[in-house]
Amino acid sequence: MAEEAIELAKQPGEFRKKALEILPDGGNLDLCFTCGTCAAGCPATGLADMDPRKFLRMVLLGMDEEVTTTPWVWMCTGCQRCIYACPMKIDIPRLVYLARASWPREERPKGIRGSCDAALRNDSGSAMGVAPEDFQFVVEDVLEEVKDTQKGWEKLEAPIDKKGAEFFLNQNSREPATEADELIPLWKILNIVGADWTYGSKGWAGENYCMFLADDKSWEHVTRTSIMQCAELGCKVYLNTE
């Protein structure tokens, strides 16, 4: 989709045309009242001299160059607050995503791109590049320490690849990489409520920067790896901590 968007963006008004094609019911773009409600609640309003209302007007006016080059699209958090506030339910975040995809991949923000690329290095899907065997070592090491040093938690569990568990749990990979002690509170909560859960050795990382990079192929790969591991283990519920 990115290559297609880049080509379309070279022609005035083609970005709007593409948006109308991919959004349900054309995205209701022509129903905009220019009321500014979207901008009023947007955390990115005013950054890079842009806001959701202004961005949408540029799309409608065929200002493709401005739409596809403004750094503001990388400041949008994708929170979708603008959609909920909009009386016409215009999907501005989807337009932002399309604009992001129009950037050549090598020119997209280095931090987001690097985190996406790290997630593609192995089957963990970790934006920190943590390999499955490293994750397993950290979990087992921290778990053993808790059992040995914290009274009352001698039977604490933090299973990996447990077949038939009800919940398949993912984890922000920054914790096993740099803040391993932060793993413990969640384990204790799950133990107290008697949850039947497991991590996966594959696809255990909860974050997906490829989505924010607007890299559809990589986004799908990371997500599919995690979902397939959940299915292989026979878990009933995919529990996304992110």
What are the tens digits of pLDDT across the range 106-160?
999 999 999 999 999 999 999 999 999 999 999 999 999 999 999 999 999 999 9
Residue 221: C-alpha distances to residues 126, 143, 203 (Å): 12, 30, 10
Residue 231: C-alpha distances to residues 51, 108, 124, 184, 191 (Å): 41, 33, 16, 26, 23
Q: Are residues 78 and 161 in the same domain?
A: no
Which among 47, 69, 103 is the end of a domain? 103
Which among 75, 103, 131 is the end of a domain? 103
Q: Is there a contact between 230 and 201 (Cβ–Cβ < 8 Å)?
A: no
Q: What is the pLDDT of residues 50-77, one digit of tens each?
A: 999 999 999 988 899 999 999 999 999 9
Number of domains in the chain: 2
Mean residue pLDDT of the chain comes to: 91
Q: What is the mean pLDDT of residues 205-222?
A: 96
Q: Is there a contact between 16 and 62 (Cβ–Cβ < 8 Å)?
A: yes
- In the beta sheet, which residues pair with residue 169? 239
d(C-alpha 164, C-alpha 238), whole Å: 12
Q: Are residues 134 and 235 in the same domain?
A: yes
Q: Are residues 115 and 68 in the same domain?
A: no
Q: What are the strands of the beta sheet with 237-239, ordered from one edge?
A: 197-198, 167-169, 237-239
Which among 52, 78, 103 is the end of a domain? 103
Q: Are residues 99 and 117 in the same domain?
A: no
